[in-house]
Amino acid sequence: MTEITTAQASVEEFLVALAAGDSTPGGGAAAALTGSQAAALLSMVLNFTVGRKRYAEFEEELQRCLKRTERLRVELLSLADKDAEAFGAVAACYAMPRSTDAEKSARTTAMQVALRGAAEVPLAMADLCLEILKLTPPVAEKGNANVVSDAATAAHLAYAAMHSALVNVKVNLKFLKDASYVAQGQAKVESLENEAESCYAAARSSCKRTLGIAI
């Protein structure tokens, strides 16, 4: 899928490309698309809520939530292609010549730069997915109860997308030589993972209270 972006592709086209024997799109793109779907589901719940008299007391808050979920939907979708670009930059480094010391040095330098990019894109995905988890409780508690099951689905998808993205972060950090940068990245990953657990639990609890079922 080199001629069209993920946003332009049909579901079938994306899945065919994902299943093919090519490196991209891969897990990073799938994580970004899953996160985008999570944001879209929260937007759906909100669009069933805003402007309705029954939920008028929450109108302003939920309008703000809707603006955020729509921003998240678009940003995460754009990261699907950025992830493929970042991987492409890493792959290009493997093709660089390494016959001389100078060539080897240039190749190593380029690889380290590319690996940073390949770590930073999925890290950005994880940040956005955490934001979706944080938005789920108010949407589940104050949104249209008839569609809160979709908010529950959004929470599960965002949680899965976040951890999927962090796999790629960890893999790329493993090959970086800058110890300080790696330590910062690992600390960020750990912080995200810890915060995600509490946010995911809060999201599930809010959905459970509204729906009256275990999720």
**Beta carbons of 75 and 131 less than 8 angstroms apart:** no
Residue type, 64: R
Instruction: Kindly report the CATH class assigned to 22-211.
Output: mainly alpha
Sign of CA dihedral 125, 130, 131, 133: positive
Task: Report if pTM > 0.85.
Answer: yes
Question: Rounded CA gap, 65 and 136, in Å?
Answer: 9
φ and ψ at 51, to 5 degrees?
85, 0
Report the interhelical angle of 101-142 vs 148-173 (nearest 10°). 160
The DSSP-derived string for 187-214 is: HHHHHHHHHHHHHHHHHHHHHHHHHSS-
Q: Given this model, what pLDDT does residue 7 score?
A: 86
Question: Rounded CA gap, 187 and 209, in Å?
Answer: 33
Task: Look up residue 5 and give its two tokens.
Answer: 């972006």
Could you read off the pLDDT tens digit of each residue along the chain, which spans 215 residues? 445 788 899 999 999 999 998 888 999 999 999 999 999 999 999 999 999 999 999 999 999 999 999 999 999 999 999 999 999 999 999 999 999 999 999 999 999 999 999 999 999 999 999 999 999 999 999 999 999 999 999 999 999 999 999 999 999 999 999 999 999 999 999 999 999 999 999 999 999 999 999 99
Per domain, the residue ranges of the chain are 22-211
Tens-place pLDDT, residues 51-71: 999 999 999 999 999 999 999
Question: Rounded CA gap, 185 and 148, in Å?
Answer: 35
**Beta carbons of 42 and 132 less than 8 angstroms apart:** yes
Contacts of 146 (CB under 8 A, 6+ apart): 48
Phi-psi group of 51: left, alpha or beta (phi > 0 → left; psi -120 to 50 → alpha; rest → beta)? left
* Residues 18-57: b if buried by 16+ CB within 10 A, e if exposed: beeeeebbebbbbbbbbbbbbbbbbbbbbbbbbeeeebee
Q: Given this model, what pLDDT does residue 5 score?
A: 87
